[in-house]
Amino acid sequence: MSDVGGAGTLILKDMEMFNEAAMLMEKIEVDIFRYLDETIAAWVNEHGWEGEYNSLEGSTSVAPPSWRIPDLEDCFAWFEFENANQDGTDSYDVANLCGCGDTELGFRFRVEHRIFGGKTPWNNCMKDLPESADGLARLEFRDEGKGVWFLPVHIDKDQLALAYENEDYAEAFTPLLNALGKLKEAVPVLDEVLNKARGRI
């Protein structure tokens, strides 16, 4: 790897400072994503949804109660908070959250394929979506194909810095709350997609 712009040399010359910054960044991430998970959990409780919360481990997910499999703890569909790039990232998660990294963070609609007869039947069914699915684009969901949609969440880095300083994330996380609201709006549309898939089993 070439030393683009002399960045590597600069880091080595100021190794103590950059090492301290890297360790501090890890602490900052833990604090920010703890508040992020708490914000999601509060919204879930307020709206009667269900969820799991551990964003730094990639296991934060939410779902309306109607998507729960009867008599089981699992859901047949849910929204996963994760990277837009499913191949991973070299950036700090907080950088991705603020649009400063090599990918984005957001909510991805996922399903338990076995409930719908397997991945191939699901994919085949998704080739002919109901017209209502166009409404997901109006909610800023990106169609990734094969019945997968992604809703990015962007937090302003300056507001996040102020929130971290004051330990008050309410204003900075407004885009997160807006995104959660869009998930709720998307449920009736996605229900039509899910019902269509059930009808093909």
The helix-helix angle for 157-166 and 15-47 (nearest 10°) equals 90
* pLDDT in the model for residue 199: 72
**Confidence grade of residue 73 (pLDDT, cut at 50, 70, 90):** confident
Tell me: pLDDT of 19 over 80: no
- d(C-alpha 27, C-alpha 20), whole Å: 11
CB distance 151 to 176 below 8 Å: no
What share of the chain in percent tops pLDDT 90? Answer: 69
* pLDDT in the model for residue 56: 84
- pTM of full prediction above 0.85: yes
Tell me: pLDDT of 18 over 70: no
* pLDDT in the model for residue 5: 61
Question: How many CB atoms lie under 10 A from the CB of residue 46?
Answer: 9
Question: Tens digit of pLDDT for each residue in 77-98?
Answer: 999 999 999 888 889 999 999 9
CB distance 76 to 82 below 8 Å: no
Question: Tens digit of pLDDT for each residue in 118-145?
Answer: 999 999 999 888 788 889 999 999 999 9
Tell me: pLDDT of 10 over 80: no
Strand 105-111 versus strand 142-145 pairing type: unpaired
Both structure tokens of 28: 């900052």
Question: Tens digit of pLDDT for each residue in 162-184?
Answer: 999 999 999 999 999 999 999 99
* pLDDT in the model for residue 9: 81
E strand map for 99-199: 105-111, 142-145, 148-153
* pLDDT in the model for residue 44: 98
